[in-house]
Structure 1
Amino acid sequence: MRRVLITFIGVSFLADLLTGLPALAQQMDEAIQRGQNVFKRNKCSVCHSIEGKGGRIGPDLSQVGSRREAAWLQTFLKDPRSVIPQGKQPPFKGTDEEREELVTYLSSLR
């Protein structure tokens, strides 16, 4: 009886978890889209390219999510010279929320 109860609880928990995944995926897709919009509004593609589209002044960001952690991107966007002293990147001038959205988008580029 105890084994049946534990199995039932485990299956119920897993079912609850799995039914929430589509909503979580949709929220993540929306967050990535907001970040992409921040990227476009701030004209980041004037200097940076993604998958061959955009400028060539700054680094290609196509795989930046594989190369950099979100925390590093946050720090870099807030104060670029604190992590790359010789860099030319200006600090991100948007809100903290916009910076977070941009980091979500950049982190998705893998």
Structure 2
Amino acid sequence: MVITRHVHHPTNLTKNVLIKVFQEVTTWFYDVSQKDVHYIYPNIAWDTLLHAGASQIHPHVHMMLSPDHYYGSMELLRSASQRYYLTKRENYFSAVLDVHAALGLVVEYGDAVAIATLVLCSE
């Protein structure tokens, strides 16, 4: 886990602190994967608020590295994209991008592409 040393409230995080946090995360992933090359699925969980009984608000990042799957929704997405490819012989993420582009929900910046996701919630 990476915890900020001096910044205890999420609204006080600076760009430099965030960069340092994710540099530490990346270093940890690299170090672990060098010790065992089977650990290839990185997982990051960012917690800030009163999760899991925390007594105070404090930003922190949990890092997990697995040899056989991602955790949570990322694994669902990975396995769905694999099934899509095996069925259609097309890249799932390219298809999602194409649909979002057709709906005008894509922004490009250099080689990066961002999509606006639409979620329907009902209670």
Bigger-Rg structure (1/2):
1
Structure scoring higher RCO (CA < 8 A, sep ≥ 6) equals 1
Bucket of the pairwise TM-score, normalised by the shorter protein:
under 0.3
Q: Using structure 2 for the length normalisation, give the TM-score.
A: 0.24
TM-score (norm 1): 0.27
Point out the structure with the larger helix share.
1
